[in-house]
């Protein structure tokens, strides 16, 4: 199963875009053909909330930011749970595993700003692209 011509964004890639951090240009170039896991979308909302962005501004910022939000289904949740042993030594969060599992399930390239993910390149089937 593959999301046709779509790439998957990790929360860190979207944060880089919004904050204009290094790598934001790459995200800007691909965002029209991107998707995000519903779990990672929730993480983005949490980051904005903790940064004291108002709820109305959060809604405005995120309303058309990402073309597709991929539901977190039973199959992807199983994959995310099973990744815990593999990713434990790298300190990856559940959100990280949700993104990796979504990418694997839909055979999508994953864009992230999290450098530790590159250590997983030969351990998971999804192609991981570091934005910075």
Question: Is residue 112 one of the residues assigned to a domain?
Answer: yes
Question: Is residue 1 one of the residues assigned to a domain?
Answer: no
Question: Is residue 73 one of the residues assigned to a domain?
Answer: yes
CATH number of the domain residue 49 falls in: 3.40.50.1010
Tell me, what's the pLDDT at 1? 63
CA distances from 77 to 18, 26, 39, 107, 110 (A): 27, 28, 10, 16, 17
Question: Is residue 2 one of the residues assigned to a domain?
Answer: no
For residue 25, the enclosing domain spans: 7-130
Write out the chain's pLDDT in tens, 132 residues.
667 679 999 999 999 999 999 999 999 999 999 999 999 999 999 999 999 999 999 999 999 899 999 999 999 999 999 999 999 999 999 999 999 999 999 999 999 999 999 999 888 999 999 998
Which tokens in the block code for residue 86?
């593999």
Helix (H) or strand (E) holding 35: strand 34-37
Structurally, how many domains does the chain consist of?
1
């Amino acid at each position: 199963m593959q999301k046709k011509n779509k790439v998957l964004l990790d929360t860190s890639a979207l944060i880089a875009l919004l904050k204009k951090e290094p790598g934001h240009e790459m995200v800007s170039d691909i965002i029209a053909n991107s998707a995000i896991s519903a779990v990672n979308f929730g993480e983005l909302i949490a980051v904005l909330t903790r940064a004291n962005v108002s709820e109305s501004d959060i809604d405005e910022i995120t309303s058309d930011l990402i073309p597709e939000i991929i539901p977190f289904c039973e199959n992807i949740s199983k994959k995310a749970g099973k990744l815990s042993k593999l990713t434990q030594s790298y300190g990856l969060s559940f959100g990280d595993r949700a993104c990796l599992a979504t990418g694997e399930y839909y055979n999508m390239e994953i864009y992230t700003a999290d450098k530790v993910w590159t250590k997983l390149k030969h351990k998971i089937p999804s192609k991981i692209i570091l934005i910075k």
